[in-house]
Structure formats: C-alpha cells, structure tokens
Amino acid sequence: MADGDDFFDEMHGYGNEVRAPYQAFHQLLSEINPARLKRQSHKAEEFFRRTGITFNVYGEADAEERLIPFDLLPRIISAKEWRMLTKGIEQRIKALNAFLHDIYHRQEILRAGRVPAALILENEAFLSQMVGVDPPGGIYTHIVGTDLVRTGPNEFFVLEDNARTPSGVSYMLENRETMLKMFPELFSRVGVETISDYPSLLRKALAASAPAACTGKPTIAVLTPGIHNSAYYEHAFLADQMGVELVEGHDLKVVDGRICMRTTCGFEPIDVIYRRVDDEYLDPLNFNPDSLLGVPGIFDIYRAGGVTITNAPGTGISDDKALYSYMPDIIEFYTGQKPLLKNVETWRCSEPSSLQYVLDNLSDLVVKEVHGSGGYGMLVGPAASKAELEAFRKKLEAKPGNYIAQPTLALSTVPILTDAGLAPRHVDLRPFVLVSPQSIDVVPGGLTRVAMEAGSLVVNSSQGGGTKDTWVLSDE
C-alpha cells in the first residue's frame, strides 16, 4: 500500500496547503537549516543510546537491546481536537471500570445478553479469584493506554484498549525531553501543553488509591519482573521519576498481614504496588505455581484489603480483541450514551458467518489474535504474500476463536525526516490515562508510533516502528 493522495496527511490534509494546527511549526521548520535537522537527528539518537532508552525483542536468538527509532518532526494535535478525544476517552474508561466491576460481581451485562457469557467466563484472562473482590476505591484500571487511529480531518477510531500493563509512557516523556534539548526555540514560539508532570500525577493517582490498611502517607513501589523484561527501562525510569522503590518479587514478602519490602532497616509495609508483572506470574500460591517473579500470598493480602495492586488483577480481560467488538454496547449499557469515539468494524472469527467472510476477503483485511499484542501474531492482508495468506488461512480454520479481523484502514500520515527530505508515514496514537477515585486525567499528548517504512501500516517498535513527540496545542 503506497502513501498518496488517498490518505489524510495531518500536516497537509488531502492537498498541499498546511493545516491550521501545523502552520506555526511549518513556518519555524522552514527557518531551520536542513543540515541542522540531520545533525540534531544524530544527536537525538546518541542521547537515547547514552541514556539507555532501549527495549528487548522476545524470541530472537541474540535478544539484543535496540533503540526505538525517534523522528524529530512532532505530531501536532489542536486544542479543539484534543478536547474531543479527551471526552471520548473518559467515557470509555468509565464504562470499562463499570464493566469490570460488573463481571466480577452481579454480571448484569451477561444476564441482559449484551455480551455473551462464554466470552467472559471461558476467557483465560477472566480471573475467577477476583469474583466478589472490591479493589480499593473501586478502581480497576488505574493506568490505561488507549490506542487511537485517524482516517480523516474529524475521523478518529479506537483501535484497542490497553489496561493490563500498558507500556510506552517513558518514551513519551523522553521524546519530549529530547525535543526540548534539540530545539528549545520551537517551544518558545509554539504553545504546547506540558506532559512533564506525568510522574507526579501518576504518584498522586496511586496514592489516592491506597487501601484501608494504609494509615499514613502511602508507601508506593514499582514491581518489575527484572532486567530481562523488554520494558525494564520503563519500570526503572518511572520508579526513579516518582521517587519510589523499584522492587522484584524476591524483595517482598508477607509479614503480619501486609506486603513488606526489604530495606536496610528490615521489612517495611508497602501500601500500593504498581505492578508490571502479568496476572499469571503475580502469586505462585494463587496462580502459576512455577512463577519466580511474583510474591507468594500477595493476592490473599490484596483480597483482604491490605495492599492495592495497580492495575487490579483481572483487568486484562478488557484488552481482549473479541470483547473490543462489544465496546459500543458496553459503553451504552453503563453510561446510557452512544460512544463518542468509534470502534473499528470488527468480524469475530468465532462466528461462522464472520469466519467465512474473513476467509473470502483475507487479502483485504487485518487479522489479529484476540490476546495478541506488540504486533505479533497478526496478518496485514494487503501486504502479505500468497504463502503468508495461505498459512494464516490454515490458522484461522484450525482455531477461529483465536482471531478477529478488521478492515485495512487508511491511517493518517505525518511527515518524518528521511535522507531524501520529508516523507509521509502512517501513525497511531496511545494517550495515557490516570484514574483514581477522585479523577480521570488524560495526559495531553501520548505516544505517537510511526511506521518507518514507506507504505507500512505496522507501527509497533517490535516490528520496526519508531516514535515521535506528540504536541497538543495549548490554544486554538
């Protein structure tokens, strides 16, 4: 699929005129020497390398650490566009939290037939151990990354919800820091909303969700699987930025009905754990008995109200891509409103008629695993070879319930800097949302992921994608 006039370009629209959100930046860009742009691009890469902003790719023999490509040209969103997106995201997050509380309590949406009971109760991400458990403050999804795509001037779609352990916020923050270092003059001439307060907002949201057992200032820690995890840099970065401890499972244990952390003064209680360990590995006594990453007994302490785990165990079911197709019904059921942000049309391959349609139109569709992430296990039909299509056809026929399919959207493009000059590339956007019992904060920006190859629709870093700074303008 080649870039061209059929795609909405966020700087130029469908023609050559510069759209209003980009006009001030476009003027400044014309004043910057192209040679300086290239020099600063190389400096940015060195900055990322020195800082250690890397990630690992699972399943590769060498498992080497990689830099995520960073493009210097920001993606710009107007204040008006951002207000519209924020309202839609807030509505969606409220519905997700209500849905999670319901399926782990009265299950009214299942009894009403709005969502098939089997899709929930037979789902591997549904934790039966969470039934009847009330998380502190009633919040399940404290940190959410909502993936959005754009197809036109006023056309935004939610691509997927990430409420299990959403990642990427460290890249959002480091991208902004890098831009401030490379081109400080741009920010003095273009009004851009700040995102630097994210760590303090995160800490505030976590502290506000402390359990009943907390009697003073909440003690917070980030629980990481360890240095071999692909997102370890982010875990360490966020702990450092919040001024809290970074811990691994072996640093924690149950003492007198609390989860306690090893310190130089002995074991001290923790009130809130921002976990980056998946449910299965969180507690070997309650989940996977072979796990060496979690804390024996932590789920029992959580269930008794002795610690807050964010995000709550069992939230991963809201990331299920088959469940995603029911989100319009879920939003309407719990809010009484139509969705403000659209879903992408989705075919559930578990349904015979949908499966047949997908098999008949495989070369035109994007097919995804219902529990997949990171761009793995998916097929982009228009970019696939005949052999790849046939191989995927066999996977679909063997386990149709493992997949959903969607149309190949005409994703918007934004310019990136190449050796030949500026060139359009497809993007998506992951805004980050912080939820506490008192508020929902949508950070004004987010992580823009960009396909670095011409015509590619795959933006995931594990598949060769890069990132950009995202500017939300502070005025019209």
Judge contact between 321 and 369, C-beta under 8 A. Answer: yes
User: CB atoms < 10 A from the CB of 223, how many?
Assistant: 28
pLDDT at 64: 57
Q: What is the pLDDT of residue 45?
A: 86
Q: How many domains does the chain have?
A: 3
Residue 1: predicted pLDDT:
34
pLDDT tens digits, one per residue of 152-195: 999 999 999 999 889 999 999 999 999 999 999 999 899 999 99
Question: What is residue 411's predicted lDDT score, i.e. its pLDDT?
Answer: 93
Q: Is there a single domain that holds both residue 78 and residue 176?
A: yes
Give CA–CA dist 332/92, Å, rounded: 10
User: Do residues 403 and 452 both lie within one domain?
Assistant: no
**37 and 167 share one domain:** yes
Q: How far apart are CA 271 and CA 305, in angstroms?
A: 10
Point out the domain boundary residue: 306, 336, 362: 306
Name the residue type at position 115.
V
| CA 405 from centre of chain | 20
Within a domain: 264: yes
pLDDT score at 457: 82
Given 408, 429, 451, the domain boundary residue is 408
Contact 78, 217 (CB under 8 A): no
Q: Looking at the structure, do residues 441 and 339 belong to the same domain, yes or no?
A: yes
Helix, strand, or coil (residue 45): helix
Q: Give the pairing type, strands 258-263 and 403-407.
A: unpaired
What range defines the domain where residue 393 resides?
A: 346-408
> What confidence score (pLDDT) does residue 475 get?
79
Question: Residue 223: enclosing H or E segment and its boundaries?
Answer: strand 220-223
CA atoms of 190 and 472, how far apart (whole Å)? 10
Q: Are residues 174 and 322 in the same domain?
A: yes
Q: Are residues 395 and 441 in the same domain?
A: no
Task: State the CATH number of the domain containing residue 221.
Answer: 3.40.50.11290
User: Is there a single domain that holds both residue 330 and residue 281?
Assistant: no
At 119, the amino acid letter reads: L
The residues with which 430 forms a beta bridge, in sequence order, are 447
**Which amino acid type is present at position 306?**
G
The reported pLDDT for the residue numbered 337 is 97
pLDDT for the residue 3: 45
> Do 293 and 322 share a domain, yes or no?
no
Do residue 323 and residue 430 come from a single domain?
yes
Half-sphere exposure of 330 (CA within 13 A, CB side): 26
Tokens 């149309």 belong to 407
Indicate whether 171 and 282 sit together in one domain. Answer: no
pLDDT of residue 476: 62
CB neighbourhood size of 437 (10 A):
12
CATH code of the domain containing 398: 3.30.1490.270
Q: Of the residues 379, 408, 437, which one is the last residue of a structural domain?
A: 408
220 near 151, Cβ under 8 Å? no
**Ranges of H-type helices in 306-433:** 321-324, 327-335, 352-360, 386-398
- Predicted local confidence at residue 378, as pLDDT: 85
Q: In terms of domains, do 253 and 286 share one?
A: yes
Spatial separation of the C-alpha atoms in residues 405 and 419, rounded to whole Å: 36
- Tell me the pLDDT of the chain (476 aa) as tens digits: 334 457 999 999 998 899 999 999 999 999 998 889 999 998 988 888 887 676 655 454 444 566 788 999 999 999 999 999 999 999 999 999 999 999 999 999 999 999 999 999 999 999 999 999 999 999 999 999 999 999 999 999 999 999 988 999 999 999 999 999 999 999 989 999 999 999 999 999 999 999 999 989 999 999 999 998 888 999 999 999 999 999 999 999 999 999 999 998 899 999 999 999 999 999 999 999 999 999 999 999 999 999 999 999 999 999 999 999 999 999 999 999 999 999 999 999 999 999 999 999 999 999 999 876 655 678 988 888 999 999 999 999 999 999 999 999 999 999 999 988 899 999 999 999 999 999 999 999 999 999 998 888 888 776 778 999 999 999 76
pLDDT at position 56 is: 57
Q: pTM of whole model > 0.85?
A: yes
